[in-house]
Chains A and B, each alone.
Chain A
Amino acid sequence: MARKRVILKVWGDNACFTRPEMKVERVSYDVMTPSAARGIIEAIHWKPAIRYVIERIHVLNPIQFENIRRNEVGSKLATTSISKAQKTGNLAEAVTFIDEDRQQRAATVLRQVVYVIEASFEMTKQAGADDNLNKHFETFKRRAQKGQCFQQPCLGNREFPAYFEWIDQVADIPKSSLPELDRNKDLGYMLWDIDYKNKHQARFFRARLEDGVLNVPPFGETLQ
């Protein structure tokens, strides 16, 4: 079966693809993760009948970071105090005051990012009789060209909106302005995506930039 490919340019002022090991004070990966790329594409068009496979992510801008510290709501309530409140019937036991539950958290986020996502998609078991690759490809293309979306896609967090543009073919992908030093870089282990079929297990892969392009391996070559 011929694979239909979608190519999408996405960009924004800031981005935060949080590393799972640094979630409290968020630190972003150097480049977009495949799971974030999938999220962006699904924000434009998605149906249970299709599954996107991210193949390549082109990094077009230099990798730069900045720091932002914000007030966030802190912890959640302990189970014990709730069950205590249930027993005694006294709701005052189960109280969270936002003002007293403030946490100031820093985030190390990316700035001025531009990526090109190359993805193909395949049909899932839920595909009905009138679902076919061509139909979904055309729908996606039409929406991306018009700037239509289910919701404005974002670069990791919703406060960092992603602007997007349809790119017709690989030859039209703009030249990357990544400095020579960063063009071929080992980025270490990176989140590939969450395996929802398998108890939401996180899958990782060894991310390498090859001439400014992150090649994303298929599921079979990822690690738990």
Chain B
Amino acid sequence: MTAITNRYDFVLLFDVTNGNPNGDPDAGNMARLDPETNQGLVTDVCIKRKVRNFVELTQDDQQGYAIYMQEKAVLNNFNKKAYEALGLEPDTKTKKLPKDADKAKALTKFMCDHFFDVRTFGAVMTTEVNTGQVRGAVQLAFARSIDPIVPLEISITRMAVTNEKDADKERTMGRKHIIPYGLYEMHGFISAPLAERTGFSENDLEIFWQALEQMFEHDRSAARGEMTTRKLVIFKHESKLGNAPAHQLFERVKVERKEGVESTRAYTDYNITVDHAGKPEGVEIIERL
């Protein structure tokens, strides 16, 4: 497992049709939006959850591809495993890492070796059974929709009731929040020096790209509607530290509404162009989708 030796920046485009990509707990689960521009938002942690779920689903039982932040996971048991594997007693009094730096390193390394998401996104493992803190190689920003979104509230009825006392009502009403269509753009960064520390390898990277491409295929639900990864543009830098500023690379991906389209309802309403012309030296542009 050798770590990656290139810096990557990437742009991910995904869309949602008649669904709710990421509900806002503050707004009764309506799709998140930027109050000033009415652009939709999807948080970084929402996408990370989907990546974790995908990896858990596809890399089932592969050595080194366990997921630490599982739904229904027992964090401290994982940490305990690390201690047991190294024959150490956790110091429950101080809750600090073992004083011996080598032991502390060994514990953190154990976590990185066994858990994909610790290598990728990092984890704060300062639980009672302390295995240290890890900064992951991958950094995601919030995804933002290209155009303002129109949140709709759909009322639905159910031909049944929950409580006996409501039996004479015959049916109950419910609500769904959807947006008719939204195309979202997300930016991400992968740092080679940090990958070196966590052991994030080429194989991990490939699995991560796959996860971004296919994560929505395994995340169907009544609330989501149809979500699809539409495009993944990767900027691969020749060097560890990078060969060009990230913001300049991201500007090469242009998403524009087609002429004459008043309100967007499909991916075909947009023109997507990736400008390959005069790209900075040492940067490779890979269009995976």
Contacts and interface: CB of A to CB of B under 8 A. Distances in A.
Contacts, number: 127
B142 interface: yes
A151 B139 contact: yes
B24 A69 contact: yes
A159 B142 contact: yes
Contact of A77 (B73, B127, B187): B127
A14 B142 contact: yes
How many of chain B's residues touch chain A, expressed as a range? 35 or more
At the interface, is chain A mostly helix, strand, loop or mixed?
A: mixed
B246 A163 contact: yes
Interface string B204-248: 000000000000000000000000000000000001011111111
Nearest to A96: B75
Interface string B1-14: 00000000100000
Interface string A82-113: 11001000010011111100001010000100
Interface in A163-193: 163-165
Contact of B128 (A66, A82, A151): A82
Nearest to A91: B77
A146 B240 CA distance: 13
Nearest to B142: A159
Contacts of A79: 92-93, 95, 128
Contact of B34 (A66, A95, A148): A66
Contact of A154 (B70, B139, B245): B139
A98 B72 contact: yes
Instruction: List the 5 shortest-distance A-B pairs measured between CB atoms, nearest first.
Output: A147-B245, A151-B191, A152-B189, A148-B241, A163-B247
B25 interface: yes
B264 interface: no
B179 to A, nearest CB: 18
Given A77-B128, A95-B76, A148 B70 contact: no
Given A82-B128, A159-B142, A71 B45 contact: yes
Contacts of A73: 69
Contacts of A72: 45
A13 B239 contact: no
Given A79-B128, A152-B139, 19 more contacts: A14-B142, A66-B34, A66-B36, A68-B41, A68-B43, A73-B69, A77-B76, A91-B74, A91-B80, A94-B74, A95-B77, A99-B71, A143-B241, A151-B135, A151-B189, A151-B193, A161-B139, A161-B141, A161-B189
Contact of B141 (A99, A106, A148, A159): A159
B43 A94 contact: no
At the interface, is chain B mostly helix, strand, loop or mixed?
A: loop
A148 B135 CA distance: 19
Interface string A139-160: 0000100111111101000111
A163 B245 contact: yes
A70 B72 contact: no
A63 to B, nearest CB: 14
Interface string B105-141: 0000000000000000000001111000001000111
6 contacts: A86-B92, A96-B74, A96-B127, A111-B34, A151-B139, A152-B191
Contacts of A68: 32, 41, 43
B26 interface: yes
A82 to B, nearest CB: 5
Given A70-B43, A98-B72, A152-B191, A161 B128 contact: no
Interface in B80-108: 80, 90, 92-93, 95
A129 to B, nearest CB: 25
